[in-house]
Chain A
Amino acid sequence: RKEVEQDPGPFNVPEGATVAFNCTYSNSASQSFFWYRQDCRKEPKLLMSVYSSGNEDGRFTAQLNRASQYISLLIRDSKLSDSATYLCVVTRGTGRRALTFGSGTRLQVQP
């Protein structure tokens, strides 16, 4: 089983649509959770951290369910510029740790 699993997509949605991505992780010791965004042939960049209480940043809302080991990202009012691959990312646990990436979900927003 992969440490972080995501639906690869692609999700093809019209501008203005609301789209939701889901992710599950296997390591119950993971401490921190993130969504990164990667544009085609570019490096990953942090989109937002994910907190147990849920958090929102403009049109983006992230949720974490530790009991189910499940993370979600909701994008409202999709823009063309949202087209990218969204990577679900968790840390491995305590101590010095690196990021474990999901394989990403590709979003294509169409005019």
Chain B
Amino acid sequence: DTAVSQTPKYLVTQMGNDKSIKCEQNLGHDTMYWYKQDSKKFLKIMFSYNNKELIINETVPNRFSPKSPDKAHLNLHINSLELGDSAVYFCASSQEPQPDYNEQFFGPGTRLTVL
């Protein structure tokens, strides 16, 4: 019954490694997002996909690469992890009728710790 799920929930890894976080939504939404919440609890958009098409790409290092195999999935791959990548990563989804705006539903988050 989970609407937006993420795996893994916790990820501890060494600097320089490559890791992936997976996200799936079963709400039938057409738009998915990745957010990063840093140690100061500030939530910031990283990427957004609409029907597998990248529509928002913030000034995120190109070590971060999102991939959307279908509209229910949006994965995040991170190369050459750095200490500053330690944060909680939230996936979210929404249905975006224009011109209105709908609620975004968030996954439980993935807590990434880079040692």
Contacts and interface: CB of A to CB of B under 8 A. Distances in A.
Nearest to A3: B44
Interface in B11-54: 31, 33, 40-45, 48, 50
Contacts of A98: 33, 45, 48, 56
Contact of A43 (B40, B44, B48, B109): B109
Central interface residue in A32, A43, A100, A104, by most chain B CB within 10 Å? A43
B42 A103 contact: yes
Interface residues of A, number: 21
A43 B106 contact: yes
Interface residues of B, number: 22
A21 interface: no
A1 interface: no
Given A31-B101, A32-B101, A46-B103, A99 B45 contact: yes
Interface of A: 31-32, 34, 42-46, 49, 85, 87, 91, 94, 96-101, 103-104
